[in-house]
Every structure is written in C-alpha cells, then in structure tokens.
Amino acid sequence: IRRAALRKAEEGLVSMCEERARMLQDQFAVSVNHVHALAILVATFHYEKRPPALDQDTFAEYTARTSFERPLLSGVAYAERVVHADRENFERQQGWIIKTMKHEPSPVQDEYAPVIYSQETISYIEGLDMMSGEEDRENILRSRASGKAVLTRPFRLMSNHLGVVLTFPVYLNDLPSDAKVDDRVAATAGYLGGAFDVESLVENLLRQLAGNQELVVNVYDVTNNSNPLVMYGSEVPLGNPSPSHICMLDFGDPFRRHHMVCRYRNKP
C-alpha cells in the first residue's frame, strides 16, 4: 500500500509538471508570435510609408488594446538604430537627447538604440539607449546578425522583477534567409522587443492551476549546463532530498536551453 501511494505521488508530480511546462511554453510562444507581428507592423507603417504612418500615440493605443495577445509580457517597445553620425539630427528631430539606462546623457558611442515607441506599461524606457545595458545590447547584436527572435539570460529588469528580454530585428528592406551578417547589419532599422516579467506573470499563471499549494516549481536557463541560472522560483538548497521531475522547455531561441523542475513542497 505504501509503494502504491508513492507511485501515485510520483505520477501526480510528472503530470502536474508536464501540464505546467506545456502551459508556460504555449503562452511564451503566443507572446513571441505576437511580438513578431508587431515588428512587421513597424516595418510596414513606420518604414514603408513616407512620411511614417505611425507615432507614439498610435503605437501605445495599439499595443494596449492587443496586450491580451502577449500574456507573459509586461510591455513592448521599439528602439531605432542610430549611428553616431546621425545622432545630432535624430536628437534635434525628436526634441530630446539619448540617455543611458542609468538615465544619464549618453556618452559618444559608435551607434545607439534609443526607444522611440513604447507600450505605456513600460513608458520609463522612452528615450533610453537599449545598447547601454549589457543583456539588452547582446540581444540586439545577436538578433540583427541572425534575423531571428532572441532571448537574454534571466536578469533583473528595470521593473526590478526577474525576467528575460525578447528582441526581433526590423530591417529596412527584405533580406534573403541566407543573407550575410554584414548585409543584415547594414539593413537594420531597429529592434522590436519586450520584457517577459517571469517573476510576476508566471506566478499568476501557476496560481490558477490545481495543486499549486503542494508543488514547488523552478525554471532555469541551462544554456551553460554547469551554471544553471534561476529564471523563476527560489533557489532550492543544495542536497535537497525531495524527489523532483524535470521537463524540457522550448522558448524558441535555439541558442538557449531551459527546463522546469517540479517537486512536492512536503515530501510525499
């Protein structure tokens, strides 16, 4: 009877973990797909119309009314690529100067990625050079070199919550799928991205599921297998003897690996 109860507990753990991993991966995927559509919206209405048929108010209204399509994102924004030779012109036209993510006037750089459109939920990133933050900068460089959606490692977002940033490149013209990196960089108009507020939005998602009380869920970025990074949940003390189940997660960036670890709060 004891053996049967243990077996049942183990099966419960596996099915609850798989349910959560599937839900998280699905909500992640729909959010990424919608950000992809927003990148196309900016290419179509900002760059393929003269003068641009998009402005901050329109972007803010559209992203607010479609936020239900991006359940795990706390907000989205568009940062334009500005090379140093164009900085003065850009700042004069915008009527403000490019600032760093520490809210200081930006020092001279080869190029910048100031936010020109933002969802109101993250309006605090307006005018900030997203290349001034290490994680955001790496994302920008990797997305424009590949033409694909990319994710940062987990880090403290400007909201002060743990999460990851998603970035899609926007190009000035269509590129063949095998385009060279240099051609991709030269054609780059800017970067459409958003913040996955994993700490609060995944908490919300899990709270709605049956069995939430008895389960401890952690999500890790295991891109570097010998140094797993916590993406969600609290650090589990080393040598925890409680049995666990691991589910692989696919968030769509082949450069990164993630998994979910589930265990019972109290040993069954």
Helix (H) or strand (E) holding 134: helix 134-146
189 binds ligand WA2 (CB under 6 A): no
Residue (34 or 263) nearer to ligand WA2, CB: 34
Q: Print the binding letters for residues 86-125 with ligand WA2: x by CB under 6 A, - otherwise.
A: -----------------------------x------x--x
Closest CA to 74 of 125, 112, 37, 36: 125
Task: Please identify, among the stretches 7-15, 27-35, 188-196, 213-221, the one whose residues bind ligand WA2 according to the rule CB under 6 A.
Answer: 188-196
140 binds ligand WA2 (CB under 6 A): yes
Rounded CA separation 26/250 (Å): 9
Residue (132 or 217) nearer to ligand WA2, CB: 132
Closest CA to 25 of 264, 224, 213, 253: 253
72 binds ligand WA2 (CB under 6 A): no
Rounded CA separation 47/50 (Å): 7
77 binds ligand WA2 (CB under 6 A): yes
Contact 100, 129 (CB under 8 A): yes
Residue (17 or 195) nearer to ligand WA2, CB: 195
Crossing angle of helices 198-207 and 2-42, in 10° steps, is: 130
CB count, 10 Å around CB of 105?
8
Please, what is the minimum distance in Å from the beta carbon of residue 259 to ligand WA2?
24
For binding to ligand WA2 (CB under 6 A), which residues are involved?
75, 77, 79, 115, 122, 125, 130, 133, 136, 139-140, 157-158, 165, 167, 191, 193, 195
